[in-house]
A and B are shown apart, each in its own frame.
Chain A
Amino acid sequence: MVSRAFTRMLAAPLALVVVLACGGKKQPEQPAPQPSAPAPQPTTPAPSQPAPPAAPAQPTEDPAAAAARVTAALLGEVATMIHFDFDKSDIRPDDRSVLDRKAAILGTNSGLRVRISGHADERGSDEYNLALGSRRAAAAKSYLVNKGIDASRIETVSYGEERALDPGHDESAWAANRRDEFDVTAGGQNLRNP
């Protein structure tokens, strides 16, 4: 169970990177890339950073590769899901640091835009769960806006219980399915570390 969910959590950001690498045309506000500039290094490691930390660049790595590595790591952090208690849309205390980190990345990279999708487990009423998903997405957006991110950069949608991550019918599946997902909709290239 745990390893399955974890694999998915890793797979989502990776898929994003692929998508962005293939079709990343929409980035009007992105500053022009500076290939000759040294890759930005993280000054302080993030508190509860799930993605691999930016290790010291190997002497042989060229700057473009280093920049791509940082961008991939930051996209992974942006895509980290947050989870909710049953029939609740309050941000859990342990998810605040996850959202704080997203806020920092969004703050540093002003061209970055995201879509938050709210999801519910299968237990509530099918249609009520759509409303619940809207509230969960709105809760994360509200948190990020309170941290200084402009509301226009964050879109919210709800899938209710229509897109279960874990098809199981037990508490661990339900817990995995009560979530917000974060997708980058624009500006996901050449991200800088906060």
Chain B
Amino acid sequence: MIRRSFRGWLLAAVAAPLALPLAAQDTTRTPEGVRIGIEYRPGVRPSVVVLPGAGLDSARAILTRDLDYSDRFEVISLGPRDTTAVVNPGGRALDYALFRTLGASYAVELAPDGPGAMVRLHDITAGALRREQRFALPALFDVNYRLGVHRVADEVVRWITGTPGYAASRIMFLVDRRLYRVDGDGGGVTSLSGPGEEILSPTWSPDGRRIAYTRFGRGTGSLVLQSVATGEKTVVTGTTALLNITPAFSPDGRLLAFARSGEEGTDIYTADVSQNCCMQRLTVGRYSDNLSPTFAPDGRRLAFVSTRAGAPQIYVMAADGTDQELLAPFDYGVTGSSNAPEWSPDGASVVFHRDVNGAPQVFVLDVASRRVRQLTSSGRNEDPSWAPDGRHVVFVSDRSGRRQLWVIDTVTGRIRQLTFEGQARLPAWSRRLSDPVPTQP
């Protein structure tokens, strides 16, 4: 985020425009000499300033951060004493020349409007109001207030770039074996576990209305479907015996693919969760393990982990279990174990982690070319999950000294820490959440 003040402004105006495309990223630095295949293109991103609106300080703070975390803009933040200079009731007659001097390409204006806000997007370069829309917002201390503001942010991103942001989404994760969720900006951490429940492998349904996970106990694990709105739980038929792990919904929400582990090994099955019936076995690995299935967004293929060549690696099969083949290339006996694949929402990539010199690192596979790219190199980095924009990835990293969730932008390589308490693991990122979601499970 770029911080500029109006006092600094006059100076900046003198030096402008050369000083404007500041490459102001607070990217966590990788060790010296390490470049890991990410292109930095500073200076080409539009810059945005969010103007204050009376009674909307909290919304403005959340919105500003969401725009920053979208990694699509240089976000200009104004100091508190500068804000009065720009407040502009009515909003239509911004001093565009002034904002041009500030280096802003766009200004987002928030104005109170009944129970919500009027949001206006000013195109500073063109000197015109580009877009205005009323947004209903829950009351300030309502549990869904943050989600409401996140939706505004996603729309503003869409107005400017053509594709929406990812702020109106949530991430489930585990601390020990308790289930939590957090907003994509790190706010709103909420416990979802019942007392005494031990949970593994959480995942979201595509519509965000249900979650599924393994309820663990005495070495066995059943699959549980839980309604996000009511907290009502259903055990998937046939999963009360053995250890049933790594569930993943099909894109239509009808099937749950998962791995079933027992004396006969570990194999992938699907169950029809719309009728809670009809288990179908997809892999038969008498001497190998098959687990961690993930559907392509067209629902026709599944990527998964198999030990059929020794160490676990990433394979792909048709949704009926046929046409099984290697997906992420590896050198036999050289490449480290590869685990935890997740197909991207746009279908173009699969993210996973692979051991490099004894530590897992996050990789992205380009499905069309079958080429892999390493995204991380500092510490242990594992269990990646895609944001709904198909561009950001949440993963577990111990780079801060203990296992926490971090978010990386796969385009710019910018990394930020998402959680700070306990020892977090096994994150699962939802798709965009369209309706208000109650906080209680």
Question: Are B426 and A141 in contact, with the CB atoms below 8 A?
Answer: no
Question: Which of B198, B218, B312, B358 is in CB contact (< 8 Å) with A125?
Answer: B312
Instruction: Give Cα A23–Cα B246 distance, bound, in whole angstroms.
Output: 36
Given A134-B262, A134-B266, A141-B263: A127 and B291 within 8 A (CB)? yes
When the two chains form the complex, which single residue of B200, B289, B425 contacts A135, counting CB atoms closer than 8 Å? B289
The 8 Å CB contact of B200, one of A117, A123, A127, A128, is A127
- Measured between beta carbons, the chain B residues less than 8 angstroms from A141 are 263
Known: A117-B219, A131-B259, A134-B262. A126 touches B312 (CB 8 A): no
Q: Size band of the B side of the interface? A: 35 or more
Which of B243, B292, B383 is most buried by chain A, counting CB atoms within 10 A of its CB? B243
| CB contact between B382 and one of A115, A125, A138, A162 (< 8 Å): that residue | A125
Please encode chain A, from 46 to 62, with 1 for each CB lying within 8 Å of some chain B CB and 0 for all others: 00000000000000000
**CB distance B360 to A125 under 8 Å?**
yes
A189 within 8 A of B: no
Residue B337 at the chain A interface, CB threshold 8 Å:
yes
A125 to B220, CA, bound (A): 18
Q: 1/0 per residue B283-300: CB within 8 Å of A? A: 000000101100000000
- B261 touching A134, Cβ below 8 Å: yes
Distance between B271 CB and nearest chain A CB, rounded to angstroms: 18
A98 interface residue per 8 A CB criterion: no
Interface flag for A124 (CB, 8 Å): yes
Interface centre among B263, B291, B353 (most CB of A within 10 A): B263
Known pairs A125-B340, A162-B216; A130 contacts B263 (CB<8 A): no
Task: Decide: B265 and A130 in contact? CB cutoff 8 A.
Answer: no
Q: Which A residues are in CB contact (< 8 Å) with B410?
A: none
Asked if A127 and B339 make an inter-chain contact with CB atoms under 8 angstroms apart, the answer reads yes
Q: Which residues of B contact A115 (CB under 8 A)?
A: 219
Tell me if A71 counts as interface (CB < 8 A to partner B). Answer: no
The answer to whether B245 has its CB under 8 Å from any CB of chain A is yes
Give chain A interface residues in 122-146, CB to chain B under 8 Å. 123-128, 130-132, 134-135, 137-138, 141
Q: Is B177 an interface residue (CB 8 A)?
A: yes
Give a binary string over B358-391; 1 marks a CB under 8 Å from any A CB, 0 the rest.
Answer: 1010000000000000000000001100000000
Q: Give me the interface of B with A, judged by CB distance under 8 Å.
A: 177, 198, 200-201, 216, 218-221, 243, 245-246, 259, 261-266, 289, 291-292, 305, 307, 311-312, 337, 339-340, 353, 358, 360, 382-383, 425-426
Partner-B contacts on A (CB < 8 A): 87, 115, 117, 123-128, 130-132, 134-135, 137-138, 141, 156-159, 162
In the assembled complex, 29 residue pairs joining A and B whose CB atoms fall closer than 8 Å, in A order, are A87-B311, A124-B339, A126-B383, A126-B425, A126-B426, A127-B245, A127-B246, A127-B291, A128-B289, A128-B305, A128-B312, A130-B221, A131-B261, A131-B266, A131-B289, A131-B291, A134-B262, A134-B289, A135-B266, A138-B262, A138-B264, A157-B243, A158-B219, A158-B243, A158-B261, A159-B219, A162-B177, A162-B198, A162-B200
